[in-house]
């Protein structure tokens, strides 16, 4: 269907044109001379690994970041965009990864908020305009519902309506599917098709090839801040796009690999190398775990068991108790009720040190909250084992250095032992944390969003390490919002909804559809 309107759209010439946009942060070149265009009725997908400069480029177009060089034109007229307000006035709307909605206001109020001037507010007129805007793009939402009652997918739709409220003609969607269930993704794409049918241009940022193939007319690929290719979607295959994204050197072989496939959002088949789960003794038993905050149970009567040599995935839409589960397991927040057993040791009342001794390893989504940025790599690596590196009251600096050099070698960390962790890239920081957790030989590793924001090389590396731990008889509890990641790694997947386990499926049965239905609270067929 995309072909139909793209042909009528392109007759009028491009709508939005970026020409030679360049942005440097210190010595880092985030964008280098990037030029591209979006025609009316066209969906242009921008592909690129994490860190390729996609977000910076979009922020320049939307006035959140000022370019060092280059121009943005709309209908052939050059724009001076100094703030999002200027961008909106020029007809550019953007839906960012983080939503900016006031939870205590209704849908209509939120939409109207961005367009309010001074003076009296005509509520009924506002409400009518909002309903009109929603009708136009086929979004059905009750305008009087409070945003706090909406799901993530619904909130995103509110953001889209908000962007469209200003007669906008180009919509930028920055990684719109990252937080959505497969069902919500389909609804989003339906909305996108409505937009293009109405003659709007859509610029969609993504790192998932499958989505791009489904929705876009044209694909542009960014790598290390440069535009490395533009292709018509129908005339290009996944392997070529992957090669463009990753650089041609290691791509052709890598793209057939399951880890790379999962990272790029290609169809992944559950792997057959997995062991039959449950044969070995449990390394983590969570029994009746409950966490009450205020008067609300954020975790309720959770029971999960992980055996040795098994990876158990935890799926769920963001905000359904995953973060809390990980912090309770990590020992940074005490459980309100229930029992935790790590490799036979009851650690329900134990502090962090006791849990580590029992054989728990942790790799949480909050990387910056797990390292001390100003301390060096070597000091961060021994932070959990300081007594072991103390001799006669003083820190044995040579042993600390040796330990660090060993781990840097073994985990291929691109840093020197004395470098402050703050200077490391996201991928290297994650390797430091992985090294710290794995060097203690954990019986069970609790992992949360282990690859979020990592480039493909680091993504594959982390997955290899998790598989190696499983092969060595260790257990892994993998919390992730990335279904591709869960499906390519896990033996079993449990689904969390509002702090409760609402279902469990074996990897073989865990299709994206099925998981999506369970995550949204439905009963899979």
Partner 1 sequence: MRFVLRGREPRWLAPAAVAVGVLVTVALTAIPIRLAGANPPAAFERYLVTPLTSTSGLYEVLLTATPLLFTGIAVALAFRAGYWNIGAEGQFLLGAIGTTAVGTGLPDLPAPVALPLGFAAGALGGLAWAVVPAWLKRRVGIDEVVTTLLLNPVALLVVQGLLNGPWRNSESGFTDSDRLGTAYDLPALVPGSRVHWGFGVAVVVVVVVGIVLTRTATGVRIRAAGQAPRAAEFSGIAVGRLQFRCALVSGGIAGLGGASQVMGVQHQLTSGISNSYGYTGVIVATLGGLGALGVFLVAFLLGDLSVGAQNVSLVLQVPAQLGAMFSALLLLAVLSAMSWRRYRVQWRPPRASAASESQPERGPTR
> Which residues are at the interface with partner 1 (CB under 8 A)?
24-28, 63-66, 78, 80, 82-83, 86, 330-332, 351-353, 356, 362, 364, 366, 368-375, 379, 382-384, 386-387, 389-390, 393-395, 397, 423
Beta carbon nearer to partner 1, 82 or 149: 82
- Rounded Cα distance between 280 and 344, Å, is 13
What is the phi/psi pair of residue 23, to 5°?
Answer: -145, 130
Q: DSSP assignment, residue 420?
A: B
Beta carbon nearer to partner 1, 202 or 404: 404
Structure tokens at 25: 């942060």
Beta carbon nearer to partner 1, 278 or 354: 354
Q: Which residues of 253-277 are buried (b: 16+ CB within 10 A; e: fewer)?
A: ebbeebbbbbbbbbebebeeebbeb
Beta carbon nearer to partner 1, 83 or 318: 83
Q: How many CB atoms lie within 10 A of CB 393?
A: 5
Q: What's the count of helices (H) and strands (E) in the chain, helices before strands?
A: 19, 22
CA-based nearest residue to 195, from 41, 12, 10, 3: 41
**Residues 93, 164: contact at Cβ < 8 Å?**
yes
CA-based nearest residue to 212, from 247, 183, 240: 240
Collapsing DSSP states into helix, strand and coil, what is residue 318? coil
CA-based nearest residue to 97, from 485, 481, 456: 481
* 175 CA to centre of own chain: 8
Q: Which residues of 403-426 are buried (b: 16+ CB within 10 A; e: fewer)?
A: bbeebbeebebebebeebbeebeb
Beta carbon nearer to partner 1, 281 or 422: 422
- Pairing status of strand 218-223 against strand 226-232: antiparallel
Residues 6 or more apart in contact with residue 69 via CB below 8 angstroms: 20, 21, 22, 33
- Scan for tokens 């961008």, then name that residue: 87
CB of 25 to partner 1, least distance (A): 6
Q: How far is CA 22 from CA 19, 58, 86, 231, 388, in A?
A: 9, 12, 19, 22, 49
Beta carbon nearer to partner 1, 251 or 326: 326
**Residues 58, 171: contact at Cβ < 8 Å?**
no
- Rounded Cα distance between 143 and 140, Å, is 9
Beta carbon nearer to partner 1, 249 or 394: 394
- Scan for tokens 């049965």, then name that residue: 509
CB of 64 to partner 1, least distance (A): 8
CB of 316 to partner 1, least distance (A): 22
Beta carbon nearer to partner 1, 73 or 183: 73
CA-based nearest residue to 432, from 359, 371, 374, 355: 371
CB of 171 to partner 1, least distance (A): 22
Beta carbon nearer to partner 1, 337 or 375: 375
Q: Vertex 314, ends 310 and 316: CA angle to 5°? A: 165
Beta carbon nearer to partner 1, 2 or 380: 380
- Rounded Cα distance between 217 and 228, Å, is 17
CA-based nearest residue to 316, from 147, 181, 149, 512: 181
CB of 100 to partner 1, least distance (A): 18
Beta carbon nearer to partner 1, 84 or 524: 84
Beta carbon nearer to partner 1, 413 or 515: 413
Structure tokens at 368: 């910056």
CB of 334 to partner 1, least distance (A): 13
**Residues 240, 47: contact at Cβ < 8 Å?**
no
Beta carbon nearer to partner 1, 165 or 389: 389
């Amino acid at each position: 269907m995309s072909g139909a309107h793209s042909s009528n759209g392109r007759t009028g010439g491009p709508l939005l044109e970026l020409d030679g946009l360049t942005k440097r942060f210190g010595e880092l070149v985030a964008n280098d001379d990037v030029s591209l265009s979006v025609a009316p009725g066209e969906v242009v997908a921008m592909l690129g690994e994490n860190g390729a400069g996609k977000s910076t480029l979009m922020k320049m177009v939307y006035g959140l970041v000022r370019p060092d060089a280059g121009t943005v034109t709309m209908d052939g007229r050059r724009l001076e965009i100094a703030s999002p307000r200027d961008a909106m006035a020029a007809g550019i709307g953007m839906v960012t990864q983080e939503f900016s909605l006031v939870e205590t206001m209704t849908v209509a109020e939120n939409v109207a908020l961005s367009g309010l001037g001074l003076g009296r507010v005509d509520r009924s007129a506002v409400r009518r305009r909002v309903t009109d805007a929603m009708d136009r793009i086929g979004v059905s939402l009750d305008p009087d519902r409070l945003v706090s009652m909406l799901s993530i997918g619904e909130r995103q739709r509110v953001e889209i309506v908000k962007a469209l409220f200003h007669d906008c003609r180009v919509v930028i969607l920055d990684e719109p599917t990252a937080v959505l269930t497969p069902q919500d993704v389909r609804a989003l794409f339906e909305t996108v098709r409505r937009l293009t049918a109405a003659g709007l241009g859509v610029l969609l940022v993504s790192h998932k090839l499958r989505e791009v193939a489904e929705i876009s007319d044209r694909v542009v690929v960014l790598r290390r801040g440069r535009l490395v290719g533009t292709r018509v979607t129908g005339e290009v295959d996944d392997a070529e796009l992957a090669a463009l994204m990753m650089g041609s050197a290691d791509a052709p072989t890598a793209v057939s690999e399951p880890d790379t496939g999962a990272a790029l959002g290609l169809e992944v088949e559950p792997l057959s190398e997995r062991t039959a789960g449950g044969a070995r003794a449990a390394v983590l038993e969570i029994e009746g775990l409950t966490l009450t905050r205020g008067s609300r149970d954020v975790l309720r009567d959770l029971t999960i068991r992980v055996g040795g040599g098994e990876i158990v995935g935890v799926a769920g839409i963001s905000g359904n108790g995953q973060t809390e589960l990980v912090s309770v397991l990590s020992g940074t927040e005490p459980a309100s009720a229930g029992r935790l057993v790590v490799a036979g040791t009851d650690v329900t009342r134990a502090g962090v040190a006791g849990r580590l001794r029992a054989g728990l390893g942790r790799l949480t989504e909050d990387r910056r909250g797990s390292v001390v940025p100003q301390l060096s790599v070597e000091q961060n690596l021994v932070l959990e084992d300081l007594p072991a590196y103390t001799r006669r009251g003083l820190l044995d600096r040579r042993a600390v250095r040796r330990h660090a050099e060993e781990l840097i070698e073994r985990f291929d960390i691109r840093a020197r032992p004395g470098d402050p962790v703050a200077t490391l890239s996201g991928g290297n920081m994650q390797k430091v944390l992985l090294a710290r957790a794995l060097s203690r030989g954990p019986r069970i590793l609790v992992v949360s969003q282990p690859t979020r924001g990592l480039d493909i090389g680091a993504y594959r590396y982390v997955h290899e390490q998790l598989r190696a731990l499983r092969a060595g008889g260790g257990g892994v509890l993998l919390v992730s919002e990335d279904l591709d990641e869960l499906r390519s790694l896990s033996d079993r997947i449990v689904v969390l909804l509002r702090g409760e386990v609402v279902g469990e499926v074996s990897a073989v049965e865990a299709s994206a559809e099925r998981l999506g239905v369970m995550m949204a609270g439905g009963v899979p067929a």
